[in-house]
Structure 1
Amino acid sequence: MCELASSGRPFKRTRTGCLTCREDGYKCDEQKPSCGRCVRLGKDCKGYGLKLKWQSPMGPRQTNRDPKERRGRKAPSTALTRVRSQHLTTSVSPRAMSSGIPPQQAYLLDHWSTTLASLITLAPTAQNQFHAHITPMITHSPPLRSAISFMAACHLSVLKDDPSLLNIATQHQTDAVSSLCKTIDTESPLVSLATIVILQITDRLFTTNSGVNHLEGAKGIIERAGPKIWACDAGAFLLSICCHHDAVVSVSRRTPPILALGGDVPSIEGMKSMRGLKIMWATIGQISSMCSQDRALVDSQGAVIEIALRTLDTYASREGDVGHTIHAYKEAAYIYLYRVWHNVGSPHPGTLRHAGDCLSHLCQVPVSSPLVSAHPWPLFTAACETIDGELRDLARKRVKAMYEVRHLPSLLRLERDIEDVWKIKDKERTSTGIDKIDCVQAILAIRQRGVDLV
């Protein structure tokens, strides 16, 4: 039965309401993050982004083909022929439906729409921020389409255990970088930064050394565009993702943050409770900066950060996924601070306590929560410092569970890195009785790369 307007006539379907109301054919008040109708009826509000879907290249006529003929046709045998067998349409507009996107790329963009965007978001809200801000840019930005196709091909190669998809991924990576270089002076800074963000995320999740410093590119775009460009929801979201990556990359390289966006990044729309987590990213960057400072400055900076962590410990909520994630970061930040400041780690009682508390907070967040995307750094930091067998098993199980949900190669590398650090640190304690091993420096030495902390 249709909901009726005050005039008694049914509401018409709109193209600007949330996906749930549009599917139901009802009027949407477009409140965010969840519309009023969905809240009132207890429905799952699916947000306001583009909805991508499949359609056979033959259209409806394919369904009329003789069943015997369909059974007699051979199935595609390679990744390339599989992706060429289908193409993308969109429920948004006829123009998007006839946008001329090649079948292979359409297949990859559909994987982004249905799977990937949900795996990489940090937002514990009904509205996926990647769909809200990045997906609408896809139709008019070839560099962004190629960057997203690069990520999707990498992920599908893992899901399908099909290495041939990596060749497709490499081609889309090349296309993304080359087309970005051509359009960066004329394209909207928001779209260019979105492309760089996708390339950065893909590099951290799927590759180990692309040879490109995407954060340096992001810095140039941010500074050249000026602050007014970023004073919008999409700008705030993109800067927040950059802030997160800037912090964890500074840890993996033991270098100061490249962007140094710090705590001045605007709050993400609809995620005011994430402010504490963004403060933690800024704090992590400050600790990383201490690695290159002289002793007197390290002591003064360390004291300031220690006071800030104690203040956060007092006032930050311990409830919900966000609260537990913030406190996990806080406990890991204590471990990181004391390692950089005093070169103190396990078996120091304080470090062991922080490691145990960090793992406890992490494990209270369901592995399906979007916030688990932000957990690799605190998990690595706490796991590497614990010497308790049960806590180590807990850390192993947690990483495995995260991989089973997301199937991201970075998590497999994280698991191996943790195991390697345990071997090195256990050997050091056995021979000397103390632990002077910096876990990140250990991986840099044996792997010749930074730890995968995203």
Structure 2
Amino acid sequence: MVHLDTAADIPQQSDDVQPPVKKRCRREGAKWTRSGCLTCKRRRKRCDEAKPSCQSCIRLGLSCEGYGSIWAKPLGPAAQVFKQTEAPKRHRSSLSPTLSVSSLPSSLGQAFSTHRCVLSPPSSEQSFVSQSSPLPDRDDPDKVDGYVRDLVPCDQLVVGSPSPSRIISHLSDLDTHYLQYHMERGSKLLANLEIDENPLRSLIIPRALSSPLIMKALCAVSAIHFSNRAHYSWCAENEGANYYIDTMRTLRSTLAKAPGGSFPDDAILTVALLCKYEIVRGSVQQWAVHLDALERLVISRGGFDNLDQETAEFIRGLFVYVNNVARITNRRKIGNSIPSVESLGTRKLDIYIGYTEEILKLCARIADLPLLSSDFVALGLEINTIDTLLRNWTTTETKHTIPKGMTAATISRLHMVADCFRDAAYIYLHSILARITQDIIIIIEPPSPSTRPPWNNLISLPKAAAVQRLLQRIHTCSIDDNCEYSALTFPLFIAGCESETQSDRSLVFQVLTTLEVNFGIRNVQRVKELLGILWRGGKSHWLDVLEELQWDLILA
């Protein structure tokens, strides 16, 4: 056994006089502040805060970007905000988050100087989204911890974006960071309509400030959206996953403590945000679990009438939109009717539905047509009814109150999107009937032209005409970052599935990429992956491809 002489390891004092230690002197210059111009913040240099342009930028011949919000402009695909500084190391961790709130530094400036993330397009080795093989879905609740272990720990990344100001003292620096991002950017991109009283701000933010549960869920959504906008930042992705795990843990505890199954509004809003999180993340399964839970919670409360009006309007719009869009690509039954879903009277234009509610419900009816495939008479009557409703539909069919802050240009964009939805509904109707016919021909042996039912003759708009009309609307419209265009995922998807020319497919892929970059919702990437597989596979129907992939694709 080796004994260490601890005394020998201690440096002995020398009798000689030691020379005085020269103190480091800080070079004089402008006082460093957290409120300097954006250029100096990005360069991490002191700023003299002169206006309109600081002297530091003028002296160096730089363009002074002023003193606005760090979230004032959307992040472009090449914006230098998030970059991995070293190769990721696989790291096993416990269920507790990699970066706990208690371990955060006391100020955002200190936090961001310790953990800096910079955005650059990931290399082929670093990219966690493969064009050929989609990311494994973290959809088994028991596998959530394993998913987090595979993410790059935040202590291996560095954050070089300017620090947002603290808003509420009881929030952590990280909470404040993602709350401010949601308030200034995320809430404007995660809806299909931007209005002054956007409930993602007017409803969710006040509730989050008084409810730690909603705050965790909101930060999860904000972090995953920030990650998408920052070219899939590992740091923000990891933080979003940690918020998600914390939210699930707290939600289970909250639901278990609810007296007599009287679940609070906070729990309902939290589940809605979790569903939104999975859609933004590009989940192909777990969103359905949260949508089903949302439905059950609202039904347990007796329907929307028993929620406060603002919560009821927000949840109803989200549920009607996601539930009906989900049924387009999923054969299994998605959702049921919630009591009092139609009893809210004249409604203002919803941030998710816009003018498309009737079209969405017709698409849900189209999705149910295979249930009538054994009764040709009933099927023919339903096809005729759907076609008549589509042909006679107009955007002014249902009366809505116009929310405050809407402009004529916004309304025009909503009309354009709704018209695209009607064209898409026609294409979808043709596509579903083709799939039904395919099943019937397989059953009937031997197949012959007489075994192909003439259902297409019941549709007033041919498929090719509907595809061209939709793509012409897209082509003549300049698709930008106005959030109304974020709803075009479904029309572009179904047009891509049924298009046959290279030029049409190129247009679809190009516009989908624009949506992915502008709005940061990763299910658009799933759509692009599916279309790539479909176009390479020849004559397969897109529903067959989805079944082979075992995807519950969501186009919301």
| TM norm structure 2 | 0.59
Confirm or deny that 1:155 pairs with 2:267.
no
* TM-aligned CA deviation for residue 314 of structure 1: 9.1
Q: C-alpha separation between the residues in 2 aligned to 1:190 and 1:281?
A: 27
* TM-aligned CA deviation for residue 263 of structure 1: 8.1
Aligned partner of 1:215 in structure 2 is 291
Which of these residues, 391, 397, 401, is aligned with residue 310 of structure 1?
A: 391
1:275-297: CA deviation from partner (whole Å, max 9, x where unpaired): 64111222222222223344324
Please tell me whether the aligned partners of residues 223 and 237 of structure 2 are also in contact (alpha carbons under 8 angstroms): yes
Which of these residues, 352, 355, 374, is aligned with residue 487 of structure 2?
A: 374
**Larger radius of gyration between Structure 1 and Structure 2:** 2
Q: C-alpha separation between the residues in 2 aligned to 1:160 and 1:399?
A: 16
Q: Secondary structure at the match of 2:480?
A: coil
1:7-66: CA deviation from partner (whole Å, max 9, x where unpaired): xxxxxxxxxxxxxxxxxxxxxxxxxxxxxxxxxxxxxxxxxxxxxxxxx9559xx9xxxx
Give 2:531's aligned amino acid: I
Aligned partner of 1:39 in structure 2 is none
Aligned partner of 1:391 in structure 2 is 504
* TM-aligned CA deviation for residue 209 of structure 1: 4.6
Confirm or deny that 1:400 pairs with 2:479.
no
Please tell me whether the aligned partners of residues 411 and 452 of structure 1 are also in contact (alpha carbons under 8 angstroms): no
The 1:400/1:194 distance shift into structure 2, 3 A limit, reads: same
Q: C-alpha separation between the residues in 1 aligned to 2:231 and 2:428?
A: 38
Q: Secondary structure at the match of 1:422?
A: helix
Confirm or deny that 1:177 pairs with 2:248.
yes
Q: C-alpha separation between the residues in 2 aligned to 1:371 and 1:214?
A: 25
The number of residues matched between the two structures is 370
Q: C-alpha separation between the residues in 2 aligned to 1:178 and 1:114?
A: 28
1:390-425: CA deviation from partner (whole Å, max 9, x where unpaired): 22221121111112212332222222222222222x
Q: C-alpha separation between the residues in 2 aligned to 1:272 and 1:218?
A: 18
Confirm or deny that 1:277 pairs with 2:389.
no
1:111-144: CA deviation from partner (whole Å, max 9, x where unpaired): 2222211111122433323112212110122222
Which of these residues, 542, 551, 555, is aligned with residue 439 of structure 1?
A: 542
Confirm or deny that 1:254 pairs with 2:331.
yes
Give 1:321's aligned amino acid: R
1:218-267: CA deviation from partner (whole Å, max 9, x where unpaired): 11111111232246133112211111111121122123441346983746
The 1:88/1:144 distance shift into structure 2, 3 A limit, reads: farther
1:152-178: CA deviation from partner (whole Å, max 9, x where unpaired): 222333306432433322221111122
Confirm or deny that 1:113 pairs with 2:183.
yes
Q: Secondary structure at the match of 1:449?
A: coil
* TM-aligned CA deviation for residue 83 of structure 1: 7.4
Aligned partner of 2:432 in structure 1 is 340
Give 1:134's aligned amino acid: I
Greater CA deviation, 239-248 or 347-356? Answer: 347-356
Q: C-alpha separation between the residues in 2 aligned to 1:147 and 1:416?
A: 28
Q: Secondary structure at the match of 1:213?
A: helix
Aligned partner of 2:312 in structure 1 is 235
Please tell me whether the aligned partners of residues 175 and 219 of structure 2 are also in contact (alpha carbons under 8 angstroms): yes
Q: Which runs of 5+ in 1 are unaligned?
A: 1-55, 63-69, 91-96, 429-436
* TM-aligned CA deviation for residue 74 of structure 1: 6.6
Q: Which runs of 5+ in 2 are unaligned?
A: 1-104, 118-152, 399-408, 439-455
Greater fraction helix: 1
User: What is the correspondence of 1:7-406 to structure 2 with a 5 Å cutoff?
Assistant: 76-77=115-116, 80=154, 89-90=166-167, 97-99=168-170, 101-158=171-228, 159=230, 161-184=232-255, 185=258, 189-209=264-284, 211=286, 213-226=289-302, 227-230=304-307, 232-260=309-337, 264=342, 266=344, 268-270=347-349, 276-296=355-375, 297-312=378-393, 320-343=412-435, 350-363=462-475, 364=477, 366-406=479-519
The 1:202/1:265 distance shift into structure 2, 3 A limit, reads: farther
Q: C-alpha separation between the residues in 1 aligned to 2:483 and 2:545?
A: 30
Greater CA deviation, 399-408 or 208-217? Answer: 208-217
Q: C-alpha separation between the residues in 2 aligned to 1:340 and 1:216?
A: 25
The 1:310/1:209 distance shift into structure 2, 3 A limit, reads: closer
What is the RMSD of the two structures over their aligned residues, measured on CA atoms? 3.6
Aligned partner of 1:419 in structure 2 is 532
Q: C-alpha separation between the residues in 1 aligned to 2:524 and 2:196?
A: 26
Q: C-alpha separation between the residues in 1 aligned to 2:425 and 2:397?
A: 14
Please tell me whether the aligned partners of residues 325 and 361 of structure 1 are also in contact (alpha carbons under 8 angstroms): no
Q: C-alpha separation between the residues in 1 aligned to 2:354 and 2:113?
A: 54
Q: C-alpha separation between the residues in 1 aligned to 2:323 and 2:351?
A: 21
1:50-105: CA deviation from partner (whole Å, max 9, x where unpaired): xxxxxx9559xx9xxxxxxx9xx976456846679967633xxxxxx233x22222
Greater CA deviation, 164-173 or 327-336? Answer: 164-173
Q: Secondary structure at the match of 2:504?
A: helix
The 1:263/1:282 distance shift into structure 2, 3 A limit, reads: farther
Aligned partner of 1:40 in structure 2 is none
